[in-house]
Structure 1
Amino acid sequence: MTHAQTALKMTAPEIKAAPDAIADAFDGFMHAFDAFKEANDVRLDEIERKLSADVVTRDKVERINKAVDEQKSMLDQLTLKQARPRLSGGRDGAARGEHKSAFEAYIRRGDEAGLRSLEQKAMSAGSNADGGYLVPEETDGEIGRRLAVVSPIRALATVRQVSTPVLKKPFSTSGMTTGWAAETAARTETAAAGLTELSFETMELYAMPAATQTLLDDAAVDIENWIASEVEIAFAEQESAAFVTGNGVSKPKGVLAYTAVANAGWSWGNLGYVATGAAGAFSSSGPADVLIDAAYALKAGHRQNATYLMNRTTQAAIRKFKDADGNYLWRPPAAVGEPASLMGFPVAEAEHMPDIAANALAIAIGDFRAGYLVVDRLGVRVLRDPYSAKPYVLFYTTKRVGGGVQNFEAIKLVKFSAS
């Protein structure tokens, strides 16, 4: 049986039923990728011999390419599920247990007495019934850890926690000038370092899950885990979109919201791009050259920490590229939990990156830890509302998040245009 036949016969139920789901999913993904290489090699051979590939072969390649994406998605989901820490484990300290008990009483019955007492002891401000109550440390930490896995830019970027609405950060755009001089020659005054101030405002992100009182009365339900599960996807999807395309109005400013200029004319405050040489496509000759050019548009210090960022559709197109020796440029993960790589650089999938189209900035590469800053204001708040949607109890859950580019030379883009 060929790799292609194995990949097409592999199904999600079979993988889920296996004793070690993640190991089986990884094996299924590797089988699918081997099948893709086998079919794509046939396609390339047909193009070389006949200047075009058979329709059947092209369809087979696309079908298996889609199977590779599905297997990778399944593997990512299983890895994410395994990575989630248990909220019930590892608690210590009487204060933490007291806060958890008081928070649970508030969620289940609306009993605010325990939280009022605790937060008066802590002399916290703005934590009354009108503003909501801070969730216990375990719940706040759980949401943060899950977002780091679900939201790709959050996982790559620098994350700062603040206690104020705005983080202001000075940045040196140019160093002091220096000069050479003979032992007895006159020394002229040199220019001072150039400094600029960047401001990152935190914006409110909210979710409002609903539950029946019957569910809340059920002691078997883990309330903390339920809240974290309900809000994690809502928060992660909104964050992921904002960090890529957000316009900075009531949301973080995304990477693609900044002005993009040809890298040859790059200046501070803009992001440089490298053009593919063809509108809405890779160049017909040397299509992978633009990926190399974009990587080497970065300074060495940023290039060694660089990651490619693109969506799944763009990655599927790049998966077909080979180097001069016939080796595929895209490589599958070496082990479970590790990213795929492209020419030695990790690849992160961000589904809010645009598809390949005319003038689309569909690929980014950079040292995102140096280049992008995520700002979290401390605390996730929950306000219990049993009145607005009877018979349901609403839980208005909020956190404040900001973000934006902090180093404009650490990120480069690929633009699908002629110039």
Structure 2
Amino acid sequence: MNLKALIEKRNALIADMKSLCDKATAETRAMTTEEQTDYDAKKSEVEALNKTIRSIEEQNALNLNSAKSDGTATDKEQAETRAFENYLRTGQIVETREDVNLTKGDNGAVIPATIANKIIHKVIDICPIYQIATRYTLGGTLSIPYYDEETQAISMAYATEFTDPVSTSGKFLSIELKGYLARGFCKISRSLINNSQFDIVSYVINKVAIAAAKWIENQLINGAASKIDGLAAGVTQVVTTASATAITADELIDLQETIPDVYQDNACWIMNRATRTAIRKLKDNEGRYILNPDATAKWGYTLFGKPVYTTDSVSAIASEKTAIYYGDMSGLAVKTSEDVSIQILNEQYATQHAVGILTWIEIDAKVENAQKIAALKMKKAGG
């Protein structure tokens, strides 16, 4: 079964889960034993499919997929790379093979699938939050059901014979992921393109991927009003510092302990580099630094046994700002309705001796499992 089929199967299961929840909600009742069993089975299968899909995507990103024995895949990739490079250098489409996906529209040529996939994989490689998040790829609105016990939970208690039990239950809620269109743009010097010794294809892939990854990371963390929620709007577990200008080791422990043990395995810290610098100066009661360089850690540092990732998308230490996120970032759901789509604009910027690169992506992100992620917020100054 190919990746597309796996994604479609997972999305169908999610739709079935939503139908079970909607039916129980409409009838103002808990799900029956049969419905709950069916729901749990589908949920387990969705989780298993998520792991498989993520593994396949990671394998693709590392270029571990072997070419077909007859060389078809390799030939196609080479043909599409040649076609793309030729179009960049000459503005002409010369590849005539039907399976080479390079088409010219009103505003320029749409790049072939293999080039687009390399850009997507590059984005995943350089954007850890996007890499770890739970990703869904489909059009339309995606509704993800979850079980909420915050207001009323299923309870267990001692009982006396011949007395009626008091019914308690949680609620089935859902989050909706839509699709918000975003556009990126850059120009490349025609002199650079005309240099036949320069690897222009790799240059374009890197330039587009870095720009896309930087924007996506910022949106996944901070979101935007009436658009993507991201972590900023979705994280409900918050620890507030006692100071508006400093963080203590005890507050970091409180933040880490907010996450249940079951979600600690894949947890990490996300903060600004200036915040990491401040934390590096904190010591325990024995005078030992609590954050140290670690050559075996994913990003070179560990704090209380978990890797530390720094990004400018998280605010530095300042009054009322969220300075740190901690937890398993798979609790963030990201839906892309459309993979990265790119157009090459040869004519529009000819007078500037440049070529335009126009990037489109449709994306949304919300916290899917609030228990997996927590935030450290700085106290209000003077408060």
The answer to whether TM tops 0.5 is yes
1:9-61 per-position Cα deviation (integer Å, ceiling 9, x unaligned) = xxxxxxxxxxxxxxxxxxxxxxxxxxxxxxxxxxxxxxxxxxxxxxxxxxxxx
Structure 1 residue 213: Cα displacement: 4.8
Deviates more, 1:330-339 or 1:348-357: 330-339
Amino acid at match of 2:359: T
Structure 1 residue 190: Cα displacement: 4.2
- Cα contact 2:272–2:310 (8 A) shared by 1: yes
Instruction: Classify the secondary structure of the residue corresponding to 1:383.
Output: strand
- Cα contact 2:236–2:374 (8 A) shared by 1: yes
Instruction: Classify the secondary structure of the residue corresponding to 2:357.
Output: strand
Give, in whole Å, the separation in 1 of the partners of 2:296 and 2:265.
21
Change (3 A) 1:187 1:354: same
- Cα contact 2:81–2:115 (8 A) shared by 1: no
1:332 is matched with 293
1:206-227 per-position Cα deviation (integer Å, ceiling 9, x unaligned) = 3333335554455444343122
Give, in whole Å, the separation in 2 of the partners of 1:327 and 1:226.
45
Instruction: Classify the secondary structure of the residue corresponding to 1:278.
Output: coil
**Within the alignment, does 1:253 sit opposite 2:229 as a pair?**
yes
Structure 1 residue 358: Cα displacement: 1.9
1:200-255 per-position Cα deviation (integer Å, ceiling 9, x unaligned) = 223333333333555445544434312212212221221222122222545x3231
Change (3 A) 1:224 1:173: farther
Instruction: Classify the secondary structure of the residue corresponding to 1:323.
Output: coil
Counterparts of 1:188-203 in structure 2 under 5 Å? 188=165, 190-191=167-168, 193-203=170-180
Give, in whole Å, the separation in 2 of the partners of 1:407 and 1:303.
14
Give, in whole Å, the separation in 2 of the partners of 1:114 and 1:192.
62
Structure 1 residue 401: Cα displacement: 2.7
1:354-398 per-position Cα deviation (integer Å, ceiling 9, x unaligned) = 1112222211211111x2122234432222222322232222122
1:29 is matched with none
Change (3 A) 1:199 1:147: same
Instruction: Classify the secondary structure of the residue corresponding to 2:370.
Output: coil
Deviates more, 1:404-413 or 1:130-139: 130-139
Among 345, 351, 376, which residue is 2:306 paired with?
A: 345
1:367 is matched with 328
Counterparts of 1:212-223 in structure 2 under 5 Å? 212-213=189-190, 215-223=192-200
1:169 is matched with 144
Give, in whole Å, the separation in 2 of the partners of 1:296 and 1:304.
13
Give, in whole Å, the separation in 1 of the partners of 2:97 and 2:153.
54
Change (3 A) 1:130 1:118: farther
**Within the alignment, does 1:300 sit opposite 2:261 as a pair?**
yes
Structure 1 residue 183: Cα displacement: 10
Amino acid at match of 1:280: T
Among 108, 111, 115, which residue is 1:135 paired with?
A: 111
Change (3 A) 1:93 1:245: same
Give, in whole Å, the separation in 2 of the partners of 1:201 and 1:350.
26
Give, in whole Å, the separation in 2 of the partners of 1:417 and 1:143.
40
- Cα contact 1:181–1:187 (8 A) shared by 2: no
- Cα contact 1:311–1:355 (8 A) shared by 2: yes
Give, in whole Å, the separation in 1 of the partners of 2:161 and 2:104.
71
Structure 1 residue 316: Cα displacement: 0.7
Change (3 A) 1:238 1:338: closer
2:130 is matched with 154
Q: TM-score, normalised by structure 2?
A: 0.69
Give, in whole Å, the separation in 1 of the partners of 2:368 and 2:62.
31
1:321 is matched with 282
1:307-362 per-position Cα deviation (integer Å, ceiling 9, x unaligned) = 11111111111111111122210021233854311121221112121111222221
Counterparts of 1:87-106 in structure 2 under 5 Å? 92-106=73-87
1:273 is matched with 238
Structure 1 residue 186: Cα displacement: 6.5
* Runs of 5+ consecutive residues of structure 1 not aligned to the other structure: 1-83, 259-269
Change (3 A) 1:187 1:227: farther
Among 103, 106, 109, which residue is 2:90 paired with?
A: 109
Give, in whole Å, the separation in 1 of the partners of 2:94 and 2:181.
27
Q: TM-score, normalised by structure 1?
A: 0.63
Give, in whole Å, the separation in 1 of the partners of 2:320 and 2:155.
41
Instruction: Classify the secondary structure of the residue corresponding to 2:360.
Output: strand
1:40 is matched with none
- Cα contact 1:133–1:381 (8 A) shared by 2: no
Amino acid at match of 2:261: A
Instruction: Classify the secondary structure of the residue corresponding to 1:305.
Output: coil
Change (3 A) 1:330 1:227: same
Structure number with greater Rg is 1
* Runs of 5+ consecutive residues of structure 2 not aligned to the other structure: 1-60
Give, in whole Å, the separation in 2 of the partners of 1:336 and 1:294.
20
Give, in whole Å, the separation in 2 of the partners of 1:336 and 1:412.
21
Alignment RMSD (CA, Å): 3.6
**Within the alignment, does 1:383 sit opposite 2:343 as a pair?**
yes
Change (3 A) 1:213 1:165: farther
1:253-282 per-position Cα deviation (integer Å, ceiling 9, x unaligned) = 231234xxxxxxxxxxx5122122123323
